[in-house]
Amino acid sequence: MITVKDVKNSLRIDHSMDDNLLEQLIDTAESYIIHAVDSQLNKQDYEKYKQFDWAVSLLVQHWYINQQVANTEHIPFTVTSLIQQLRGSVWHADRESPE
């Protein structure tokens, strides 16, 4: 799972003033992606998918960098692509699991 330290490394942040904000953004991004893929699952169900961590990281970075931009309403294409991949992976895993 993505941590504040991971995001700070990606964004090249070397202070702790925004740690609480980053933690909130991580929680929100995880929830956003989980609900975009399959809201019946929880965060632990996504631990095996590397796309999940990368999508969370990219979405947090996007929100952090653009927090002052009023006209940023879109989700980055890479995040949308990763969500689509996760949907396929989760759907495929559900179809293969014994009932």
Task: Give the model confidence (pLDDT) of 6-21 as tens digits.
Answer: 999 999 999 999 999 9
Task: Give the model confidence (pLDDT) of 26-85 as tens digits.
Answer: 999 999 999 999 888 889 999 899 999 999 999 999 999 998 776 656 889 999 999 999
Query: Closest Cα to residue 63, out of 29, 20, 14?
Result: 29
**What letter would DSSP give residue 74?**
S
